[in-house]
Amino acid sequence: FPTQLLRSAPMSSLSGALTEVVARVFTELGLSPEFGRVTPSNRPDLGQFQCNGALAAAKAAKQNPRAIAEQVLGRLQTLPQFRDLSLAGPGFINLSLTDDALGAYARAFAADERIGAARKSPPEMVVLDYGGANIAKAMHVGHLRAAIIGEALRRLFLFVGDNVVGDVHMGDWGLQMGMIISEMELRRPDLPYFDAAFKGPYPNASPVTAEELEEIYPTAAAACKADPARMEKARVATAELQQGRPGYRALWQHFFDVSVEMMKRDYGALGVHFDLWKGEACVDPLIAPMVDKMKAMGLAREDQGALIVPVAKPDDKKEIPPLILIKRDGAAMYSTTDLATIVDRVQEQNPDLILYVVDQRQHLHFEQVFRTAIMAGINGKATMEHLGFGTMNGPDGKPFKTRAGGVMKLQDLIAMMSNSAMERLNEQGIATDYDPAERQEIARRVGLAALKFADLSNHPVANYVFDLDRFVRFEGKTGPYLLYAAVRIKSILRKAETQGDTPGAILPPEPGERDLILALGDLPNAVMDAYRERAPNKIADYAYGLAQTFSTYYNAFHILSEPNKAL
Ligand code: ARG
């Protein structure tokens, strides 16, 4: 068995491989194998790994923990892969591997295209909902975190082995549509879209550009807020749009088309991919049958002209108000389209999991939607999960705004990051011999890395402060630092090739190289922890630690100037 750890491709982390060994010893001693869990040591001065299971095992077996630990140790000592084994405190076991064992693991790791991470089997079908940008409104920093965290999870789930469908789920069916339509009617009453008698066909060209919409929406929203009569108009327009008034639908289609083009540009600039470009509107035909079903089940009931679903449970700690399914004027709500979207996803993908990456402040909304979906039995076999994220704040601790106090547009934010990265390149005299276009591209990538890593290195639920100067630094826990480490490694490999050095077999490590192999051998743990906890920051932390370990190694060892070719 011990040689199996050395020869086969590592289908696990180093600590995972050791857990198998130690768990077997626990079993041999008549104890439960679950006590054999080995983790990287939090006291590297005492050993590379530790196992604390003897304490729990002793409690379960009503024995002395040190006695159990000594028996385990005795058996481990007969195995060839350990350089050092010791006992500490009431029964902690410290373990260190021989350099031969580490070298063998490193070779298997290098040969394994999954770098030690087992592929999940069987895969599950996962629908990821991490877009939520709204038609006719500019994308802003609120959609940034959803996109960045969601994209990281999409790649992570795919790597682990699930089937993933990423859906942008645009906001395109709510009251904001009626606000814009009624604002347009005031500005351009001549357009055929408002003439109920018009028989068509409607013009092919959009009467507005996306940029114009970005101005029209805030103006319309402010007017509706200030004037109840305007708000009433917007409500009526929304209800009529949803009921299918042809002119409104035609106008809506224009809003939709020009907005989607812009969203594709913005998400594309972030390197964020969606498999589906669906929105709230496209599930509209599913609403009526769904509502009928909920009525027939006695789930939905009338309340002051509206249709509501009471979702409170007796053991609720906080009051959960009823979900509003249909408003008095007949309009569908945000919750209604989210429910119909569940119906659609069950029909189309039949997912095992629907994961919503949406602002934590929408938690109540998702609680109401999930409860309703389960009571109505519309979620098929899907578990529904809301991964709520915190806000990106300005220095004042409030959600990030522009200097003028407005909403920061995503496009402007990205430009700001690139500019700041360019300043850093200039300051440090980096890439001065590159042509300007290529240099601009480097700045763009460095800026994007800064933005994405800053976001991903925080736990999703945490709020964090946008600190441009810190994010674009080449030192510290930043995206540019990681890029720098990766580029340095690539540069070494390229130079090695030029001087005729090719990779040979990995030899047992020198003492200073051990840390690098130990760090690499922990990668599968970081991946699986991030996957289980939906926490991409675990990978960000890992990557930063690995870059630091590499840097230490690089400073201590010759690489290109190493005279011993075999080494
Ligand atoms: N459009 C919404 C907003 O801007 C976000 C949508 C999130 N996804 C969902 N399935 N509700 O707030």
- Per-residue tokens: 61: 């077996």
pLDDT class for 9, splitting at 50, 70, 90? Answer: very low
Task: For the chain, give percent helix, strand, coil, nearest 5.
Answer: 55, 10, 35
What value does the mean pLDDT take over residues 97-117? 90
Amino acid at 373: A
What value does the mean pLDDT take over residues 456-482? 94
**Ligand 1: residue whose CA is nearest its atom 11:** 338
> What are the start-end ranges of the H helices in 244-352?
246-269, 284-296, 334-348
Is the pLDDT at 150 greater than 70? The verdict is yes
174 close to ligand 1 (CB < 6 Angstrom): no
pLDDT of residue 49: 98
- Per-residue tokens: 201: 């066909």
Residue in 130, 141, 260, 334 to alter for ligand 1 test, most ligand atoms within 8 A of Cβ: 334
Question: Higher pLDDT residue, 406 or 44?
Answer: 44
230 close to ligand 1 (CB < 6 Angstrom): no
What value does the mean pLDDT take over residues 58-76? 94
What value does the mean pLDDT take over residues 340-354? 98
Cis peptide before 201 (omega within 30 of 0): yes
Is the pLDDT at 339 greater than 60? The verdict is yes
What value does the mean pLDDT take over residues 55-59? 94
**Ligand 1: residue whose CA is nearest its atom 3:** 132
pLDDT in tens, 273-329: 999 999 999 999 999 999 999 999 999 999 999 999 999 999 999 999 999 999 998
Is the pLDDT at 3 greater than 50? The verdict is no
Q: Name every residue whose Cβ is closer than 8 Å to that of residue 247 and which is 6 or more positions away in sequence.
A: 192, 193, 194, 195, 196, 198, 202
Distance of CA 36 to the CA centre of its chain: 32
What value does the mean pLDDT take over residues 411-427? 94
pLDDT of residue 10: 55
What value does the mean pLDDT take over residues 520-540? 96
Distance CA 244, CA 242 (A): 5
pLDDT in tens, 118-146: 888 899 999 999 999 999 887 877 799 99
pTM: 0.93
Is the pLDDT at 33 greater than 90? The verdict is yes
pLDDT of residue 512: 82
Q: Name every residue whose Cβ is closer than 8 Å to that of residue 202 and which is 6 or more positions away in sequence.
A: 192, 193, 246, 247, 250, 251
Is the pLDDT at 4 greater than 50? The verdict is no
Distance CA 360, CA 357 (A): 9
Distance CA 343, CA 377 (A): 10
- Per-residue tokens: 492: 């070494």
pLDDT of residue 395: 86
Residue in 344, 362, 379, 387 to alter for ligand 1 test, most ligand atoms within 8 A of Cβ: 362
Is the pLDDT at 5 greater than 50? The verdict is no
131 close to ligand 1 (CB < 6 Angstrom): no
Query: For residue 389, what are the β-bridge partners?
Result: 359
Is the pLDDT at 77 greater than 80? The verdict is yes
171 close to ligand 1 (CB < 6 Angstrom): yes
Distance CA 129, CA 275 (A): 11
SS3 53: helix
% of the chain exceeding 90 in pLDDT: 84
Is residue 399 within 8 A of residue 391, CB to CB? The reply is: yes
Consecutive H or E run containing 332: none
Q: Give whole-number Cα distances, 516 to 102, 451, 556, 561, in Å.
A: 10, 27, 12, 20
